Amino acid sequence: MIAAGLTVDYSTLEARAATLARRLSARGIGAGDRVATTLPPGLDFVELLHALPRLGAVLVPLNTRLSAAERRWQIDDAGARLVVDEPLDGPEADTRPRTEVDPNGAQLLLYTSGTTARPKPVELTYANNLASAQASAWNIGVAPDDRWLCVLPLFHVGGLQVLIRSAIYGTTAVVHERFDPGAVADSLAGGETTLVSLVATMLRRLREAGLTDAPALRAALVGGGPVPRGLLEWAHGAGLPVVQTYGMTEASSQIATMPVAEALARVGSAGRPLHGVQLRIGEAGEILVRGPTVSRGALAEDGWLHTGDRGRLENGYLYVDGRLKDIIVTGGENVAAAEVEEALLAHPAVRDAAVVGFPDPDWGEAVAAYVVVGDVVSDGDLGEYCKSRLAGYKVPRRFIRVEQIPRTASGKILKGQLPHG
């Protein structure tokens, strides 16, 4: 791995992880114990990630943005025996760390983003994570000199899987402590990175940072929602081979990913299901998933993961239309908030958008849009722009200007945190 000016090879990481395992053992950590952490992305976190399997213990990454009360709830809910907030030193137990793991044993306990309710725990096994790494490799390939840039938070499955995949492949993870558009642009433009995982907001910020080239990049996986055509066209023009992806914590990250060569031809699609992943569309258009990447505890009685997302399959390609509950019923017509958001994000002045329904005495609900704009634009202009792309009943009746749209680390909109206006 490369992080904070350090370059660490696998033999060094092996020795450091074994030492940390003995220190954890001296603190009473053993098989089945859960260890929570708020360590920042970097060498100390990676050592902990690789030390815990040597004891049969489970890693519980905590969201570093939690309030004290939320943090306490998550620690208690996980049953964490130890919380690691800073690098561990001290005595080492005279124990021999394990060299093998049970594939069906728990490796990670992650908490979902919790956009509408308390986060839910998701247990991922070694087999889940191995299957995810294999499926990703089947889709985008593995090169001996791959360097996967990790800028997503490590309490999010998208960030963690960069570290796990890189270890399974024997390739390099380039770890940034946080997303800094200038630093990421430098890494891409300087040819340091061959792969990167982002959310659409990050991609916009790279455009604003003036990125014009990424000579070594093979693929930029972008999740957290659809990528507007204008942003995709800019990215490909700048040498960023963006591939849209759809995933969930419960499925060890990726579920479907678009091949690089087809990204512009099928704008709006998240691509085909990854190798070994089964998809079908259930009642009310809900996306259902099963396969070796899916957490056993997330399966319903019918054997499928019910995602809560609406979507459709067209010639084997998945299109995600938003959350099942994210439907606005106006005058008896159903409006998918995601569709309106996508239309607004195509406007050159709109930097971000969130669409909701407001109570309306005549229509039941009225479509309203929160927008972050970078240039002067009137409500009338925004409305006319939407009319050129959407049916009249889908056009927002209100536009509310805000400085930012609250989002989770994975890019999902926190609509419950939008200001009332």
State pLDDT tens for residues 396-408: 999 999 999 998 8
pLDDT band at 371 (very low <50, low <70, confident <90, very high): very high
User: What mean pLDDT is predicted for residues 95-108?
Assistant: 94
Report whether CATH 3.10.20.340 matches the domain 1-101.
Answer: no
Out of 3.20.20.70, 3.90.1150.10, 3.20.20.10, 3.30.300.30, the CATH code matching 327-417 is 3.30.300.30
What is the reported pLDDT for 48?
Answer: 98
Average pLDDT over residues 143-150: 97
CATH 3.40.50.12780 domain locations along the chain: 113-324
pLDDT band at residue 117 using 50, 70 and 90 as cut-offs: low
Q: Residues 247, 250, 251, 252: is their CA dihedral positive or negative?
A: positive
pLDDT of 105 over the 90 cut: yes
Contact (CB, 8 A) for 57 and 48: no
Q: In the chain, where does the domain assigned CATH 3.30.300.30 lie?
A: 327-417
| Range among 63-77, 86-100, 109-123 rated most confident | 86-100
Which of these, 282, 188, 284, 287, lies nearest to 238 by C-alpha position? 188
Those residues whose C-beta lies under 8 Å from the C-beta of residue 32, and which sit 6 or more positions away, are 56, 57, 58
Tell me the three state secondary structure of residue 172.
strand
Q: Is a pLDDT exceeding 70 seen at residue 116?
A: no
Q: Which two tokens stand for residue 362?
A: 């005549």
pLDDT at residue 190 above 60? yes
- pLDDT grade for 324, boundaries at 50, 70 and 90: confident
DSSP string over 19-74: HHHHHHHHTT--TT-EEEE-PPTTHHHHHHHHHGGGGT-EEEEPPTT--HHHHHHH
Alpha-carbon dihedral angle through residues 291, 293, 298, 302, given to the nearest 10 degrees = 0
Could you identify the residue written with the tokens 């809910």? 77
Question: Between vectors from CA 35 to CA 29 and to CA 39, what angle results, nearest 5°?
Answer: 125
Maximum C-alpha span of the chain: 74
- pTM for this predicted structure: 0.83
Q: How confident is the model at residue 114 (pLDDT cuts 50, 70, 90)?
A: low
**CATH assignment of 113-324, among 2.40.50.140, 3.40.50.12780, 3.40.718.10, 1.10.580.10:** 3.40.50.12780
Instruction: Please tell me the predicted confidence (pLDDT) of residue 148.
Output: 98
* Cβ neighbours around 190 below 10 Å, total: 12
Residue 230 vs residue 37, higher pLDDT: 37
Residue ranges, CATH 3.40.50.980, the chain = 1-101
What's the pLDDT score for residue 237?
84
Q: Which residues pair with 369 in a beta bridge?
A: 355, 399
Q: Are 336 and 310 in contact (CB under 8 A)?
A: yes
pLDDT, mean of residues 178-191: 95
At residue 61, the pLDDT reads: 97
Q: How far is 184 from 217, CA to CA, in rounded Å?
A: 12
Q: List Cβ neighbours of 251 (8 Å cut-off, separation of 6 or more).
A: 132, 277, 289, 291, 293, 294, 295, 298, 305
pLDDT averaged over the chain?
Answer: 91
Q: Do β-strands 6-7 and 58-61 pair in parallel, antiparallel, or remain unpaired?
A: unpaired
Residue pLDDT, tens place only, 260-319 = 778 778 878 899 999 999 999 999 899 999 999 999 999 999 999 999 888 999 999 999
Q: Give the span between the Cα atoms of 172 and 167, in whole angstroms.
A: 8
**For 20-42, how does the pLDDT look when each residue is reduced to its tens digit (9 = 90+)?**
999 999 999 999 999 999 999 99
